[in-house]
Structure 1
């Protein structure tokens, strides 16, 4: 599918006004957009844009977080089991878990925060400001960002909920984001625009189930990571 064809389909979708979500919950907007565009996956091939393009859909003015990518390999400075046992909590089902969103400017309820070490090009996860738990190479994270989100077609929608509690979307704005930058990404980490989501628990066997540490951002802040923005597409 070419970029012109995608934009043409988006324009027709905009003309339809509000349409009901095809799936309940937070993922309904992305699923509905893909279905209405006739797409089977969010990462699509667009030959006239030079390859793969990530499609992102968002509710206008949403403050919810979306995952940019996950990266977990070789970052933990202490065993993950100890991380869960020491900093985690007991869930209602009785298992010990650590599902924790971590920002740079403040410590969260578990005493965790992230710090950007520009001199050593590291992003560090720390407890009480100085106890090192995990460490990422910033430029590996940047390379993940560029490979995953080198080009993003970002589609926004107004939303409403019917009397029958069905969410509806009016997809009415689209713009193309190109060239994510290391400078923008690092600044976003420092400014608490980008956060780290730890997602793991202990299984009955006492082994760790890690769902992948996610690098996340508010939907409305994604453009701050990119050098170029092409607006007015629909």
Structure 2
């Protein structure tokens, strides 16, 4: 490969990148999402400026993704904080755990999704939707929700799923110091809500050194929904450069 050809490579490995150069379309993406109230003091320590908290609300969700363009079949669990940015309601992606190397690589490199390896699962067991997250052999989250107890307005479901999401992208230089440190904004687009229901829910979080979801304890369940969609992830856009001072 000639030197002028190297910058044309999409990603590494050069001869067969870990993920393809495509826009990711999700078909039959299924969410189990539980919003809960937590300790505001803990959120203050974790949330980066210029984001702020109106209420100490956290969303734990498990997403079953059986058909993703270029990535195939994967499942993800995430912990997100409800925030305000310039007065607009949004979410901050605190951590995401995925069972797919291509999904982890593309999410971290193409955008700023805070993805790492994990073993999430979403399944219907009788009349109960069950979402779990294991880190290695250790259970760190169990979510349960009654299946299709109350219809959810599709417009409300669409509004919840298309909230702006903020993340911090940190790319170290070869000296170990940050080369990129940005607050990044992204948003879901091209969304079709196929099914949306609310139901009674419970969430248990278990302490773990490297998957510290339980650092944001569950004080009160505020909302829970189960949504089936087709959607496209929008590109990330840097909105704040922490290295600029």
State the TM-score, normalized to the length of structure 2: 0.31
The structure, 1 or 2, with the larger RCO (C-alpha pairs under 8 Å, 6+ apart) is 1
Determine which structure has the larger helix proportion and give its number. 1
Instruction: Kindly indicate which of the two structures has a greater share of residues assigned to strand.
Output: 2
